[in-house]
Amino acid sequence: MSLTGKKALVTGASRGIGRAVALKLAREGADVIVTATSLERAKKTADEIILLGRRAVPCEVNVGIRQDIENLFKTVTDEFGNLDILVNNAGITRDGLLMRMKDEDWDDVISVNLTGAFACTREAIKLMAKAKSGRIVNISSVVGEMGNAGQANYCASKAGIIGFTKAVAREYAKRGITVNAVAPGFIETDMTGVLSENIREELLKQIPVNRFGAVEDIANAVYFLVSDLGSYITGHVLDVNGGMHM
C-alpha cells in the first residue's frame, strides 16, 4: 500500500465523490480525517475506514464557516500532528438562471466551493511547508472549464478553483508540495441524482464514452495525483469526464 503512514484530510466525505476518495486513500494505507456538515454522517464513513484497519477521525465542518475550519485544523494537529494529503472536495450547487439568481445563491456557492478550499488550503499549507512535503487536490468540474447555463455561480467557483490551484502550485513547488485539480464530468452522486431523465439523456449525448462517471473514477484520479506516481505533476487539471470536454 503506497500511502501507508500518510495522514489525509478529505472534506465532504460523507457521500458521493468525497466518500469514495476517503475510502480509496484508506485502502491504500492512509489514515483519514473525514468531514461532513453532520458528525453522524462523517462518522459513517469514518466507521467504514476503521473497518479497513486504518485510523479515521470524523469531524463536523461547514467549510463556509472560518471557526469550523479553525476547529478542524486543531483536530488535525491534535490527532495527526502533521498532514500529508488534503482533498478539497466539499461542494454545493444552487442552480438558476443569472437574472433570477439570488445574492445568497451566489454567495453560498462561492463561500463553500471556493473560499472553503482557500481557507482549508491556507491551514494545510502551514503544516506541509514545515514538513517540506505535501499533496493537495482540489475538486473542480468540467463546467468550470466549459460553462453551463443555469450554473453561473457554480461555474465561477469551479473555474476559480483552477486559478487558485495553479497559483498555489507555483508558490509552494519549491517546498515539495504539489497542488492539482481534478475536474470531474457528470458523476453518479446525490448532486446529479436530481437531474431529470430528459436532462440526463441530453447530457449522455455529449459524453463520448456514453455513460456517467462512477465515484471510483474520480477516487482513482485523486489517488494517482497524491501517490508517488504523481510526484512530478503540479498545477495540473486532470479531466475525468468520459471525453465530454477535450
Applying CB under 6 A, the residues found at the interface with ligand NAP are 11-18, 36-38, 41, 61-64, 89-92, 112, 139, 141, 184, 186-187, 189-192
CB of 84 to ligand NAP, least distance (A): 21
Pairing type for strands 56-60 and 85-88 reads unpaired
Q: Is 154 a catalytic residue?
A: yes
Q: Which of 131, 127, 160, 129 has its CA nearest to residue 9?
A: 127
CB of 140 to ligand NAP, least distance (A): 7
Q: What is the 3-state secondary structure (H, E, C) of the chain?
A: CCCCCCEEEECCCCCHHHHHHHHHHHHCCCEEEEEECCHHHHHHHHHHHHHCCCCEEEEECCCCCHHHHHHHHHHHHHHCCCCCEEEECCCCCCCECHHHCCHHHHHHHHHHHHHHHHHHHHHHHHHHHHHCCEEEEEECCHHHHHCCCCEHHHHHHHHHHHHHHHHHHHHHHHHCEEEEEEEECCECCHHHHCCCHHHHHHHHHCCCCCCCECHHHHHHHHHHHHCHHHCCCCCCEEEECCCCCC
Give the nearer residue to ligand NAP in terms of CB position, either 17 or 169.
17
CB of 237 to ligand NAP, least distance (A): 12
Annotated catalytic residue within 154, 172, 223, 232: 154
Give the nearer residue to ligand NAP in terms of CB position, either 180 or 189.
189
Give the nearer residue to ligand NAP in terms of CB position, either 133 or 138.
138
CB of 176 to ligand NAP, least distance (A): 26
CB of 227 to ligand NAP, least distance (A): 20
Please tell me the distance from the alpha carbon of residue 114 to that of residue 64, in angstroms, as a whole number.
9
- Cell 461532513 -> residue: 36
Give the nearer residue to ligand NAP in terms of CB position, either 30 or 219.
219
CB of 210 to ligand NAP, least distance (A): 16
**Set of cell numbers at residue 94:** 444552487
Give the nearer residue to ligand NAP in terms of CB position, either 5 or 96.
96
Give the nearer residue to ligand NAP in terms of CB position, either 15 or 55.
15
Catalytic residues: 154
